[in-house]
Amino acid sequence: MSKCESSLDVDLGDRSYPIFIGEGLHADAAYYRKYAPGTQVMVVTNETVAPLYLDKTLQALAGYELRSCILPDGEAFKTLDVLNQVYTALLEARFTRKCTLVALGGGVIGDMTGFAAATYQRGVHFIQVPTTLLSQVDSSVGGKTGVNHRLGKNMIGAFYQPRLVLADTATLNTLDERQFSSGLAEVIKYGLIVDAEFFDWLEEKMDALLARDPRCLAYAIQRSCRCKADVVEADEKEAGQRALLNLGHTFGHAIETGMGYGEWLHGEAVAAGMCMAADLSRRLGWLSSEAFERIRALIERARLPTAPPAELSSDRFLELMAVDKKVLDGRLRLVLLKEIGQSLVTEAFEHGKLKETLTRYGR
Amino acid sequence: MSKCESSLDVDLGDRSYPIFIGEGLHADAAYYRKYAPGTQVMVVTNETVAPLYLDKTLQALAGYELRSCILPDGEAFKTLDVLNQVYTALLEARFTRKCTLVALGGGVIGDMTGFAAATYQRGVHFIQVPTTLLSQVDSSVGGKTGVNHRLGKNMIGAFYQPRLVLADTATLNTLDERQFSSGLAEVIKYGLIVDAEFFDWLEEKMDALLARDPRCLAYAIQRSCRCKADVVEADEKEAGQRALLNLGHTFGHAIETGMGYGEWLHGEAVAAGMCMAADLSRRLGWLSSEAFERIRALIERARLPTAPPAELSSDRFLELMAVDKKVLDGRLRLVLLKEIGQSLVTEAFEHGKLKETLTRYGR
């Protein structure tokens, strides 16, 4: 039997939906029945996740006209071409606009399946079953879907909300250490941007989290999703405050693009990016050295990188950051920290200080 | 100077927008300035339209950071691959999410540019400058955007509203007869589905329309857009009544797919499809023979086909119709006529009668 430890509702008017968190949820038929209307369901997953969780998911969906679509694993396959395989599978199965797509996997599967759901016949139902910590705390809330373009990450996409998210903590047991830590980067991020108390809790519980204590995990996931939902509910289309969620991401995307997708995990790049944002905030005189050190130390304890790869020069960094979506009308906007739990989005910072941060870390 | 003959507002809450109709509007800077915020504009057009209208459009947009993207012309190029060329052009130009895309061309350009706008960085501004009669009366209202898949037409897409539509009647003078008549098919459709008085007016003014009388054209475009807007405003996401707009389209899409995209123009296929829907409505005893004959005669006067191509057998027709989006849970739904100006969406019809209609026309 599955065990729902906690849940929350993401409140977006007629696009609201629940997130359930607990052990074994991915195999629980009751949730699917309630949230997948119609008769046709396609589970989209990848070659790594399929052997672990696809069978039980399909069993839980028995009774539907059922298909699965197994994609290659990895950020390198988050492309229009691979997306087209999903469309082809849907059309070959003659799935109608009343069908439901279930994303079973991490962030790449969630983003691609969500975008397929947003665009197949101009929109079909979508259920997310994130199987990594990163996707449970990040992709579960926010409705961002899409694919990469060779000239930039997540450059093609849509905002599209799921009807249901099932965050199954049992699926985290099969994550390797790097993947697990990558998820912790986003968990730490929520503490940094809006929730100092949660940051304190993370300092206290980091060892239990690393030991994958199920109750600690469920709490961290629920609180992370709540932080993100609060930000997103206030600003669904990313006009303003939602950009706080990008702490570390402008630097991080530059690292991911500069190193080639897949070399650095997303959370690893964000972790290094958060250290860079904290470093810049400190140089601007906004963040204390003590707070900077607490941030760096917690990220290190989470077994995450605290600096970018040395081979990215500061000039290359600036070039890579210039194509990031966070650049408005040519001006570089960054998320920076006033203190732990207080962040802001700004383009009003001394660019010389940014250069100092990049030079400190770059070759 | 441009001359705005008439206008209407499409009322969709915070996604409302105006349509202006008149001569020379595509070259009028004032409209663009008002509706393209930000500093970057890309005009997307095709190889046929570019030599005719691109220069003046670009002149009207002087002052913006300006790019154009010229695609190959035709339904055969309404694909993900060609769409990707637009993304590439946007990324190479480093266009941000504050940019505006202007669609200068017919339905294919409007659909693709709209989908690019819906999905580039998860959504940028969109202005439509439809240059064919078909796109002025059809794509101007409804927010349907997308591309074809080899297994079906318009199977990939999104609902996305423009901020402004400029329907320039002067651009219709360069349309060849087939293209022009293809647009008239949709004009006639509005009369058939919701506006008997407009159908009467069309019977009276068909010769003037064929002579491309500018004032008659502006009136026909405005009234067509008004009809469509009334239906769409009541039902933006196509849950119910919006499906009335598909009169002739399920048959028509089968013709287009069966013959290969591009062989039959969309409006030609819809015209034949409307005759088939009217024929079926007559066989079901819902439409009088006199009304059927008026419909057939008006479509013929508009120089449009009144029957499908003989090489499509009734079995092939049924097969092609089965992948159409209008099939819900495997049941075939059709738009049929009670009388001229009164239509309904139904799956409650004798399928034997459908077979009779298909056999009458098929080989």
Distance CA(B27)–CA(B32), nearest Å, equals 9
Choose among B91, B151, B328: nearest Cβ to A88: B151
Domain match, A128 and A228 both: no
Residue with the larger pLDDT of the pair B331 and A14 = A14
Q: Please name which of A180, A190, A189, A188 lies closest in space to residue A211, comparing C-alpha atoms.
A: A180
Domain match, B184 and B296 both: yes
User: How many other CB atoms are found less than 10 A from the CB of residue A323?
Assistant: 19
Q: So what's the pLDDT on residue B363?
A: 46
Under 8 Å CB-to-CB from A278, ≥6 apart: which residues? A192, A287, A291, A292, A295, A296, A337
Domain match, B158 and B193 both: no
Choose among A84, A97, A328: nearest Cβ to B98: A328
Domain match, B195 and B167 both: no
CA B61 to chain centre: 26
Domain match, B263 and B305 both: yes
Domain match, A142 and A155 both: yes
Nearest residue of chain B to residue A79 (CA atoms): B84
Domain match, A187 and A316 both: yes
Q: Please name which of A262, A217, A119, A328 lies closest in space to residue B94, comparing C-alpha atoms.
A: A328
Whether the pLDDT of residue A2 is over 80: the answer is: no
Residues from chain B that touch A119, judged by Cβ atoms under 8 A, are 119, 146, 156-158
Per-residue model confidence as pLDDT tens digits over A27-52: 999 999 999 999 999 999 999 999 99
Q: Which residues of A72-83 are buried (b: 16+ CB within 10 A; e: fewer)?
A: ebebebbbbebb
Domain match, B129 and B60 both: yes
Distance CA(A146)–CA(A112), nearest Å, equals 6
DSSP state of A76: G
Average pLDDT over residues A225-240: 80
* Residue A363's pLDDT band (cuts 50, 70, 90): very low
Interface of B with A (CB under 8 A): 38-39, 80, 84, 87-88, 91-92, 94, 96-98, 118-123, 144, 146, 149, 151-152, 155-159, 237-238, 322-323, 325, 327-330
Distance CA(A302)–CA(A294), nearest Å, equals 12
Quote the ipTM score.
Answer: 0.85
Last residue of a domain, one of B174, B206, B229: B174
DSSP state of B141: S
Q: Best residue in B88, B122, B144 to probe A by mutation, most A CBs within 10 Å?
A: B122
* Residue A330's pLDDT band (cuts 50, 70, 90): low
Q: So what's the pLDDT on residue A127?
A: 98
Name the domain count of chain A: 2
Q: How far is A64 from chain B (nearest CA, A)?
A: 12
What's the first-to-final CA gap in chain B, in angstroms? 53
Domain match, A147 and A204 both: no
Q: How far is A213 from chain B (nearest CA, A)?
A: 37
Last residue of a domain, one of B174, B206, B231: B174
Nearest residue of chain B to residue A324 (CA atoms): B96
Residue A101 near residue A117, CB atoms below 8 Å: yes
Choose among B96, B118, B158: nearest Cβ to A329: B96
Residue B44 near residue B104, CB atoms below 8 Å: yes
User: How many other CB atoms are found less than 10 A from the CB of residue B74?
Assistant: 14
CATH number of the domain bearing residue A170: 3.40.50.1970
Choose among B39, B92, B122: nearest Cβ to A158: B122
Residues from chain B that touch A158, judged by Cβ atoms under 8 A, are 118-119, 122-123, 158
Q: What is this structure's pTM?
A: 0.87
* Whether B119 and A156 lie within 8 Å, measured CB to CB: yes
Average pLDDT over residues A139-153: 92
Whether the pLDDT of residue A75 is over 80: the answer is: yes
User: How many other CB atoms are found less than 10 A from the CB of residue B59?
Assistant: 11
User: How many other CB atoms are found less than 10 A from the CB of residue A163?
Assistant: 18
DSSP state of A62: B
Distance CA(B67)–CA(B61), nearest Å, equals 10
Average pLDDT over residues A308-326: 81
Q: How far is B277 from chain A (nearest CA, A)?
A: 22
Listed as ranges, residues in chain B with pLDDT below 50 are: 363
Structure tokens at B270: 């819809």
Cα three-residue angle A350-A353-A359, rounded to 5 degrees: 150
Domain match, B219 and B328 both: yes
Nearest residue of chain B to residue A319 (CA atoms): B94
Determine if residue A260 is left, alpha or beta; phi over 0 gives left, psi from -120 to 50 gives alpha, anything else beta.
Answer: left
Residue with the larger pLDDT of the pair B257 and A61 = A61
CATH number of the domain bearing residue B329: 1.20.1090.10
Helix (H) or strand (E) holding B127: strand B125-130
Last residue of a domain, one of A141, A174, A207: A174
Domain match, A245 and A191 both: yes
Average pLDDT over residues A8-26: 93
* Whether B328 and A237 lie within 8 Å, measured CB to CB: no
Domain match, B182 and B164 both: no
Whether the pLDDT of residue A120 is over 90: the answer is: yes
Distance CA(B334)–CA(B106), nearest Å, equals 26
Q: So what's the pLDDT on residue A319?
A: 87
Q: How far is B185 from chain A (nearest CA, A)?
A: 24
Q: How far is B136 from chain A (nearest CA, A)?
A: 21
* Residue A238's pLDDT band (cuts 50, 70, 90): low
Residue numbers of the domain that contains A17 = 3-174
